[in-house]
């Protein structure tokens, strides 16, 4: 019962790890992201489907799921959900706190049906607190809880991260918490309610920046672009045709960089010999490095530092990432056959186990693709019952 990104990302992770995931969607609109495009993967002529196709956004976080088109605003739709709850281990939802109670889909109601149910609620601001009734997208939480303030160029305005990172980290926290709750249930026999807020997850992932503020009692040091506030050089530099990032995280690595740039004398220069001096002379050193890096191409610099031990990287765009030789070698892009769109390419699950094999078993579903299957095979409805529920608009 989740839409958009944080909840679907959480349940996709569980699906990749082997869970059977049933996605309950609005019977006519489905998940909001089904229309978030372009781009859309066009329908094949053979599918007989009409419209622009399936949204790439929806594809990103909805594999390994079965779609049931269902309205919990319809009494008989709620009855179907209650029957599902009785048979399921986990329910994940992302509605404003308290809003599901009027549909008899709140935790207290469902716990009475299934005391072992693990009920995870993902919201912008949590079940309690002064902001609990606010709706919240990722970017609002990035703004209000510190991330935008520390993201962007040193002298530029605050900016959001290129992907909805707060949604994604919330999805990760939720999937981990669900698995911990499953372990707890194995000991106690009881399920529990998990309260996950984007605002809390965003605050938690401020990590060392938040710790620095708490320890020092001072404000953070603001935006640093690709640079680091306390390590120099540690940023991207322009090349003849792009950008390259160097990480001189200690004096030894800085020495490797000096040799590779053809400036071994910097290793003994009092202005640069130790990191504290380099931080103090940041502007001079970074300008000197970029005066050299702009003389050669990114590929040239990658070749120059290959095998040196220095952390370095080209700054690639997303298509370059997907076509990267290392991405291919790690099996991070796979092809699946979609029932409406034919062959589609997808990003694979990133986790490799020595024995188990997480995988993409099924492509992202069409809206209501599995309604009949779930109601008849799992819940015991007859074909006539299903047809009647469709006629009444409870399911699709």
Q: Give start and end residues of each alpha helix (H) in 153-274.
A: 165-188, 198-204, 207-216, 251-261
Give me 269's structure tokens.
Answer: 């220069």
Give me 315's structure tokens.
Answer: 């700054």
15: Cβ contacts below 8 Å, ≥ 6 apart: 21, 63, 64, 65
Q: Tell me the C-alpha distance between 92 and 179, whole Å.
A: 13
**Of 271, 276, 282, whose CA–CA distance to 154 is shortest?**
282
Q: Check: CB of residue 21 under 8 Å from CB of residue 48.
A: no
**What single-letter DSSP state applies at residue 42?**
P
Q: Tell me the C-alpha distance between 215 and 66, whole Å.
A: 48
Dihedral pair phi/psi, residue 90, rounded to 5°: -140, 140
- Rounded to the nearest 5 percent, the helix, strand and coil shares of the chain are 40, 15, 45
Q: Tell me the C-alpha distance between 70 and 198, whole Å.
A: 26
Based on the residue annotation, tell me whether 167 is a catalytic residue of this protein: yes
Considering 16, 31, 138, 167, which one is annotated as catalytic? 167
Q: Check: CB of residue 220 under 8 Å from CB of residue 289.
A: no
371 alpha carbon, distance to own chain's centre: 27
Q: Tell me the C-alpha distance between 120 and 97, whole Å.
A: 12
**Of 283, 317, 285, whose CA–CA distance to 298 is shortest?**
317
Give the DSSP per-residue string, 61-102. Answer: T--SEEEEEB-TTSHHHHHHHHHHHHH-SEEEE-PPTTTTGG
The catalytic residues are 167
């Amino acid at each position: 019962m989740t839409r958009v990104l944080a909840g679907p990302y959480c349940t996709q992770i569980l699906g990749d790890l082997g869970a059977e995931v049933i996605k309950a969607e609005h019977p006519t609109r489905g998940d909001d992201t089904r229309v978030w495009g372009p781009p859309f993967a066009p329908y094949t002529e053979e599918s007989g489907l009409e419209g622009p196709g399936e949204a790439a956004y929806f594809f990103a976080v909805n594999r390994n799921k079965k779609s049931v088109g269902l309205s919990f605003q319809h009494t008989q739709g709620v009855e179907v959900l209650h029957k599902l709850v009785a048979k399921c281990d986990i329910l994940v939802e992302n509605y404003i706190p308290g809003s599901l109670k009027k549909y008899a889909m709140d935790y207290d109601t469902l716990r009475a049906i299934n005391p072992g149910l693990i009920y995870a609620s993902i919201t912008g601001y949590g079940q309690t607190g002064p902001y609990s009734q606010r709706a919240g997208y990722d970017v609002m939480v990035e703004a209000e809880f510190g991330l935008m303030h520390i993201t962007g160029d040193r002298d530029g305005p605050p900016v959001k991260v290129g992907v909805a990172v707060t949604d994604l980290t919330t999805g990760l926290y939720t999937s981990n918490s669900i698995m911990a709750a499953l372990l707890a249930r194995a000991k106690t026999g009881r399920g529990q309610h998990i309260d996950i807020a984007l605002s809390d997850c965003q605050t938690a992932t401020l990590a060392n920046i938040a710790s620095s503020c708490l320890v020092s009692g001072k404000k953070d040091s603001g935006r640093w672009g690709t640079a680091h506030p306390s390590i120099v050089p540690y940023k991207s530099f322009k090349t003849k045709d792009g950008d390259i990032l160097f990480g001189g995280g200690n004096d030894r690595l800085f020495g490797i960089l000096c040799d590779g740039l053809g400036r071994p004398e910097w290793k003994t220069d009092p202005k640069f010999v130790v990191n504290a001096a380099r931080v103090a002379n940041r502007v001079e050193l970074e300008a000197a490095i970029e005066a050299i890096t702009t003389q050669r191409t990114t590929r040239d610099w990658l070749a120059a530092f290959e095998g040196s031990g220095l952390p370095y990287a080209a700054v690639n765009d997303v298509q370059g990432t997907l076509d990267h030789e290392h991405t291919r070698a790690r099996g991070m892009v796979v092809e699946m056959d979609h029932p409406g769109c034919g062959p589609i390419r997808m990003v694979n699950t990133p986790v490799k186990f020595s024995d188990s094999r997480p995988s993409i078993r099924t492509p992202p579903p069409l809206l209501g693709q599995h309604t009949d299957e779930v109601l008849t095979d799992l819940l015991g409805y007859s074909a006539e019952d299903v047809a009647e529920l469709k006629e009444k608009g409870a399911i699709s």
